[in-house]
Structure formats: C-alpha cells, structure tokens
Chain A
C-alpha cells in the first residue's frame, strides 16, 4: 500500500463521513461544520489527482465564502438545535422504518448495476500530463474551448443576483422615512445643490 493510496483512503473516508454526518445533524451549525470537513477532504482528493487548482478553489469559494454565508444566515436567524424537532415527531411503525430504507438500498443497487459505470482507465495517475489541472491549463481551456459556457454561466449568476435583489426589495418598496442622523435632513438640500 503506497502513501498515495493511504492518503486517498483516509481523505475519501473523511469526505463520506462528513457528508453523512452533515445530513444527520439536528443542529444546523454542526451540519455546516461537517460539510466543511467533507469539503476539505474532497480538496485533498482533488490535489492528489493533480487538479490542484480545483482543490484550492473548492476551499476558497465553498469552504471560505459560501459556507461562511450559510453560517452567517444561521446566526442571523439564530437557529439553535431544536429539541422539539425530535420530541414532537410522530413515531413511524417498525414496518415503515425498516421497509423504506431496505427498498431504497435495493433500488440503489439496481441503479448502480444497470448504469454500469465505465471501468477506470488502467495506470490511472501515471498517464495524466504533467501540468494537468494546473492553473495555466485550466485557464486556457476556460477561455478557448469553454468560452461561451463560461460567459453564459456568468450571465446566469448575474440574473440570479438581480432576482435575489428584486425579491428582497419587494417587501420594503416604500421609501424609508427614517433618517440616520437628525442632521441629515438639514444637510440634504445643500448636498443636492453641490452635487
């Protein structure tokens, strides 16, 4: 067993563990933390595959920005672990509790079996080009072969942002009446003249 293989096994196990624990938590903050654990482990897998840029971006964008935003929202709404969620839950009969998971697992088996994932190419890591996944190569691909998809994704994100602003704005459509400082009102006319 080589060092690479061991590292892969560990990080893959941690990634799966983090993902599983994430959906099993009642405490939303704990969920986010497990997701971070999973993401960091996934980044390790990416780096091992030579996709260093992907690994770094996974940490910078997902772990560093998006999940911070999640935490921010959770804290702003002050969502604590809710014991009522488990206490007041209607209990399921033992039949439903066992039959549904068994059914799902059997289904999963058949789906995986039917789809027949393509077998991994032989001599996996050795045959990749040296600079595969390096920033330079990713950039070249992004700005030549995949130029239009890239730009369109940008437009899509922009539309999403505008949409979010529109939805957030609707509730406070009326102009705000409160001035931040009492002095603001007095100063306004002179500002408009100057500007």
Chain B
C-alpha cells in the first residue's frame, strides 16, 4: 500500500522513526533553554539510603565507595554518587574509594571535582584514600572482604597501605562501616554475596534506572539498606542534602522525554485501534 492510500489513522500508527528522533531532540532542548521545575517527591528507597547513612555513620567510621560505573554512566550515577560523598563527609566518615571499572581514575577525579568544596578541608590519607582499580570479578570482591591488603598493597599512587594513617587498622569487611556501590552492572551483587551476607556489612546501591527493578527485591527484603535509582535518585538525594545540582536540572529533560514516550504510545494505539476498526 503506497503512502497516499493510507488513511489518517493508519498514518498515525506508522509514523517514521526519524520524526520521533527530531521530536525528542527538540523536546530535550526545551528544559535547557527554559528550566522546567516540578516538585520532586522522595521515594522510600532513597530516603532509606539517606537516613541509613545519617544513622549508621559516626565521625571517624571508615566507609567504602565502590565505583563500578564508567564515564558513560556519569549522567545517571554521578549526581547520586557525589551527593552521597558529600553526605558522608558531612557525617565525618573516612572514605575509601576503589573501583571495578577500567576508567575508574576518571570517575574518581570527577567525584573530587564535583565535591571540591568538601574535599578542600580534608587531608588525603587521613580522611580519604584512593586505592584504584581491581579486576571486575567476584573473587576480588570476596578477597577484599577477607583482606584489603591482599588485593591492594599500595594506594593508587604507590604508597604502602601501612603508611597511610586512615588504613592502619583497616583490612577486613568488619573494619568497614558500610559500602556504597555505584553500578551499571552486577557488582553490587558481589558485595551482597561477599560482604553483606557473610560479614553483615551494610550495603547500599547507587545504580542506573534499569537496575532499580533488579535490586528492588534486595531492598524490600532489607539486604540493601537503601537504593538510589538513576538520575531521579540523584535529584532526590540533592534535595535531601539541600544542594540542588545537576540531577535536579536534568529532571526537566526526564519530564519531557517520559511524557513524550507516553504520548507516542497513546498515539500509536489510537492509530492501531482506529485502523483495525476500519
């Protein structure tokens, strides 16, 4: 059937994909030209993450921030990761950064940049340390729980761990107050299986939106004490710590794109049913 012979309803059900690409492209520009701000409700999983950190972390406690997302997932994971870093510093925690992603160096540098005001009063080695990359596999995560020194002899810059003040009495999962894992994959599973279950170390997830459904059973059963889901989770955390930033701005784009998807689905179904009736 040629394009001219199609009825209006049939055309509605067969819109060219390039039209959608242009609509989305133009739609996504609107919030950056004129910000669209709606109130953001806090989801229970994000609230539990925030309150869990506030309740559990005492000044001087050592916390692990696991970087298991690459630079491509910065827009989704980084706002929540940065907000949690700020919250941990406010609570007086000492932070160990390490990562299972080959570009972890970049992400660590970006965390430092985004939390610059917080880190300027901290001393490397006393308040935070960066141990670098470990291979992306469960055996390494299990061994980190048993002995950090068996995986990392030195920090990322070659200083032996025994010479780093905050690492003096820290070597096992039992020395760590909690783990926050920023993920695009399944690394948080490893921490659940190798840290949370055998040692009881509290674990929380900072993941891309897609992981929300994967980790929901763990959160609902209390295995994860909290969970931040995608850029929305980041915006909620920014609201909770009282510092609206990148994720809050990005919610404008989320609003536009999500409403466009729903409109497209409705149009497709109107066209589908109308052309079937005919």
User: Do A and B interact with each other, yes or no?
Assistant: no
- What residues make up the interface of B, taking CB atoms closer than 8 Å to A? none
